[in-house]
Amino acid sequence: QVQLVEPGGGLVQPGGSLRLSCEASGSIFTIVAMGWYRQAPGRQRELVATINSGGATNYGDSVGGRGTISRDNSKKTVYLQMDSLKPEDTAVYYCNVRGYYSVSSFDSFDAWGRGTQVTVSS
């Protein structure tokens, strides 16, 4: 089992910033991609940002240029910096990590964190 710890959520002022982190641990052979998705009440879960093992990034349309995702491979940790936060960014943010338990291509995992609440409000 892969465990994900994702501190960093909380209350943020509009126009402010946040920094989320997600550390993966457990029986991990290799990680293919890491990132965050979010879900607000009444909305579908949507992509925030992901980064793969090669460093390629993908950002959701709602994030645009306000977010920066990075990773520390040695620590199996991914970071998300978001600036100019809006009330619309209020959601539960879920860390997602995909990878393999072993060298076998059949031994894959798709792990999700418990989610961290991010609230953007005055």
The answer to whether the beta carbons of residues 100 and 108 sit under 8 Å apart is yes
Q: Quick one: pLDDT band at residue 54, thresholds 50, 70, 90? A: very high
pLDDT of residue 1: 84
H/E run at residue 70: strand 67-72
The predicted-structure confidence for 4-27, as pLDDT tens digits, reads as follows 988 888 999 999 999 999 999 999
Cα end-to-end distance, the chain, whole Å: 39
For 34-69, give one letter per residue: b (16+ CB within 10 A) or e: bbbbbeeeeeeeebbbbbeeeeeeebbeebeeebbb
The predicted-structure confidence for 55-98, as pLDDT tens digits, reads as follows 999 999 999 899 999 999 999 999 999 999 999 999 999 999 99
pLDDT of residue 47: 97
